[in-house]
Amino acid sequence: MSSQPSDLISEDVNLSRCEEILQYKFQDRELLRRALTHSSIAASRLTSNERMEFLGDSVLGMVVCETLFESYPDYAEGELTRIKSSVVSRSTCARISCEIGLDDCLYLGKGLTNHEGIPESVIAGSFEGVVAAIYLDGGYEPARTWLRSVLQQEIIRLVEQEEEENFKSVLQQLSQKDFQLTPGYRLLDEKGPDHSKCFKVSAYIGDEYYPAAWGNTKKEAEQRAAENAYAVLSEQPAPHPSDE
Catalytically active residues are: 57, 128
Query: Can you name the residues that pair with 204 across neighbouring β-strands?
Result: 184, 209
Task: Measure the CA–CA gap between 208 and 9, rounded to whole angstroms.
Answer: 73
* Rounded alpha-carbon distances, angstroms, from residue 61 to 23, 81, 157, 162: 21, 11, 18, 19
- C-alpha dihedral over 187, 189, 193, 197, to 10 degrees? -50
Which run of H or of E encompasses 205? strand 198-205
Closest listed residue to residue 167, CA positions, set 94, 87, 228: 228
* Rounded alpha-carbon distances, angstroms, from residue 109 to 28, 33, 112: 24, 15, 6
Task: Measure the CA–CA gap between 202 and 42, rounded to whole angstroms.
Answer: 59
Which amino acid would we find at residue 209?
A: Y
CB crowding 146-181: b at 16 or more within 10 Å, else e: bbeebbeebbeebbeebebebbbeebeebbeeeeee
DSSP letter at 109 equals -
Task: Measure the CA–CA gap between 145 and 67, rounded to whole angstroms.
Answer: 11
What three-state secondary structure class fits 145? helix
